[in-house]
Amino acid sequence: MKSTLNAIIISLVLISRAFAASPTSLTVKSAEKINVYNIHYRTTEKGTVKLSIIDSKNNAVYSEVLFNTSSFVRPFNFSQLNEGEYTIVLEDKNGKQSEKISYTVNQVTSFVSVSPVANQDGKYRLNVYNNGSENVDVRIYAHDGKLVHDQILNVNGNYALIYNLKQVTSPAFTFEVTTSNGNVKTVKF
């Protein structure tokens, strides 16, 4: 009877230790920046962690070993990788965990408008709205086709600018706005 009771107590201690062992937590979330994923790792005990990113052909596109760590958040920029399925693999003393992601190239979409400023002769408002970051080339031509202004803007989100063309002697202007994703907006005044 006493040996049976000891066996039960030992079993309960082993079971409670198994449940008390520090489980590893791995999550992968899309970051606010385009093409970036944040890898979150957490456990309660410090140790060695191997982090790998594997493509759909089972090739390691990234690998790193971290020592004496119990948690981290690492941003990874996938912009230099091809679209496709990737597996994030974490290996620590508690075992191996993986999470799959489907990476697609986020295309920046934008809307461009140019309009005269109300009651302000010679002033024009440029508005650019986009869902990312892009270069915008603004060219302004006089009525005879002569380039009077050329400017490259880096636009991240929404952007507005007023151009004052009072000093340029021309009865009409053409705005040609080209975004880095290839959209061209031409407006004549």
Angstrom distances, CA of residue 87 to CA of 51, 52, 106: 11, 8, 19
What pLDDT does 18 receive? 42
pLDDT digits (tens, 9 = 90+) for 106-126: 667 788 889 999 888 889 999
How far is 188 from 174, CA to CA, in rounded Å?
Answer: 4
How far is 172 from 186, CA to CA, in rounded Å?
Answer: 13
pLDDT digits (tens, 9 = 90+) for 31-44: 666 778 888 888 88
- For residues 171-188, average pLDDT: 87
What domains lie within the chain, and their CATH numbers? 23-103 (2.60.40.3080), 110-188 (2.60.40.2550)
Q: pTM of the predicted model, to two decimals?
A: 0.47
pLDDT band at 176 (very low <50, low <70, confident <90, very high): very high
How far is 163 from 124, CA to CA, in rounded Å?
Answer: 5
- The 10 Å Cβ neighbour count of residue 145 is 7
How far is 160 from 117, CA to CA, in rounded Å?
Answer: 12
What tokens appear for 141 in the block? Answer: 């031509």
